[in-house]
A = this chain, B = another copy of it.
Amino acid sequence: MSEGLKVAVVGATGAVGSEILRLLGDRWFPVREVVPLASARSAGKSVVAVGREWTVQPLGPSCFDGVDVAFFSAGASRSKEYAPLAVEAGALVVDNSSAFRMDPDVPLIVPEINAHAMLPHHRIIAVPNCSAIILLMAVAPLRALGRIRRILVSTYQSASGAGAAAMEELRTQAEDVLAGRPAQPCVFDQPIAFNLFSHNTPISDDGFNGEERKVIEESQKILGMPDLWVTPTCIRVPVMRAHSESITVEFEGDAPSEESVRRVLEGAAGVRVVDDRAANRFPTPLEASGQDDVLVGRIRRDPFDPRSLSLFACGDQLLKGAALNALQIAEARLSG
């Protein structure tokens, strides 16, 4: 029992926490002990990780004694309160919430893109917003082909981004609608089954919502391009767990050829090109679900603007959009 790491998972019963517990066993991660943490309501439940059962404990200040790595996926307020305590107790914190993402002293990491921004003294590493991760997995490799000036993106975001209860709400509402009963919104403030709507985060004076603001600011930070133009429209759709994104990238000069884009994306870690025009096969959220890779296709230059090209990308929101990216951060940090 003395070898390997003691790993805390805050939000262990949530949609992302559950995936982290599963991935701990599936990847090379050397685990000695798992400490699943959740609200008092979930304490006492048992969860499985690395082939053993563990009892969920209530999150509290003394939970991090001897913890080597703490994954936080329980919302920004809990991260703000408990992540500093975990750091004090000696843990490396990998935080899935928005709490520290824009903190200039906290690196915001997609390992395939900017692992270099993690330095030994960083004890909190932030996992970016899921839509930003999936967007940048498709776009960042294109920097090798020219200077990017602007990104326009319309998202098709799955229910999972709002947690396990939202996924259940989509399921229940769909059953209700099919049976002729009215949909009962609860997690979302309007029906999600057979419907879609603008992301339900508050709108600021400029007309952009909280989710879109994250995509803008986090993309700039991750790419280290504070002057990058990013125009997102974030829409929730009745899909279970993978996000899709319709992306147009504008370069400073002429956009690269489709062949060179395909080649660069085919060589990019964590990306799989799905772009079969003859068979009309392109990325779908169903195919991306449960997959580590972000799927990219519909690669085409703009028919009018020589500087632009468009893409369509799908990625599992719970995996590369959250849990997998968090595990990869810890792996890169501990092996580095």
**A198 partner, pick from B171, B189, B202, B298, beta carbons under 8 A:** B298
**Is A104 part of the binding interface, using a Cβ–Cβ cutoff of 8 Å?**
no
Does A206 contact B238, Cβ atoms closer than 8 Å?
A: no
Does B310 contact A233, Cβ atoms closer than 8 Å?
A: yes
| A191–B30 CA distance with the chains assembled, in angstroms | 39
| Chain B residues in 8 Å Cβ range of A246 | 154, 233, 235, 246
| Chain B residues in 8 Å Cβ range of A196 | 156, 237, 239, 244, 284-285
Does B203 contact A277, Cβ atoms closer than 8 Å?
A: yes
**A231 partner, pick from B235, B282, B310, beta carbons under 8 A:** B310
Which of A32-40, A52-60, A122-130, A300-308 contacts its partner?
Answer: A300-308
**Is A175 part of the binding interface, using a Cβ–Cβ cutoff of 8 Å?**
yes
Does A280 contact B216, Cβ atoms closer than 8 Å?
A: no
Does B208 contact A286, Cβ atoms closer than 8 Å?
A: no
| Chain B residues in 8 Å Cβ range of A248 | 152, 231
| A233–B143 CA distance with the chains assembled, in angstroms | 23
How far does the Cβ of A311 sit from chain B's closest Cβ, in whole Å? 9
| Chain B residues in 8 Å Cβ range of A299 | 207
**Is A312 part of the binding interface, using a Cβ–Cβ cutoff of 8 Å?**
yes
Does A238 contact B239, Cβ atoms closer than 8 Å?
A: yes
Does A282 contact B198, Cβ atoms closer than 8 Å?
A: yes
- Tell me whether chain A's interface is mostly helix, strand or loop, or mixed: mixed
Does A198 contact B303, Cβ atoms closer than 8 Å?
A: no
**Is A62 part of the binding interface, using a Cβ–Cβ cutoff of 8 Å?**
no
Does A304 contact B237, Cβ atoms closer than 8 Å?
A: no
**A154 partner, pick from B154, B207, B305, beta carbons under 8 A:** B154
Q: What is the chain B residue whose CB lies nearest that of A276? A: B203
How far does the Cβ of A327 sit from chain B's closest Cβ, in whole Å? 26
How far does the Cβ of A156 sit from chain B's closest Cβ, in whole Å? 6
| A312–B240 CA distance with the chains assembled, in angstroms | 23
How far does the Cβ of A188 sit from chain B's closest Cβ, in whole Å? 11
Q: What is the chain B residue whose CB lies nearest that of A179? A: B175
How far does the Cβ of A148 sit from chain B's closest Cβ, in whole Å? 13
| A195–B287 CA distance with the chains assembled, in angstroms | 9
**Is A294 part of the binding interface, using a Cβ–Cβ cutoff of 8 Å?**
no
Does B198 contact A231, Cβ atoms closer than 8 Å?
A: no
**Is A229 part of the binding interface, using a Cβ–Cβ cutoff of 8 Å?**
yes
**Is A48 part of the binding interface, using a Cβ–Cβ cutoff of 8 Å?**
no
Q: What is the chain B residue whose CB lies nearest that of A175? A: B178
Does B286 contact A195, Cβ atoms closer than 8 Å?
A: yes
Binding site for B on A (CB under 8 A): 150, 152, 154, 156, 170-171, 174-175, 178, 189-191, 194-198, 200-203, 206-209, 216, 229-231, 233, 235, 237-240, 244, 246, 248, 258, 277-278, 280, 282, 284-286, 297-305, 308, 310, 312
For the complex of A and B, list the 6 residue pairs with the smallest distance between their C-beta atoms, beginning with the closest.
A207-B300, A229-B304, A154-B154, A154-B246, A203-B277, A195-B286
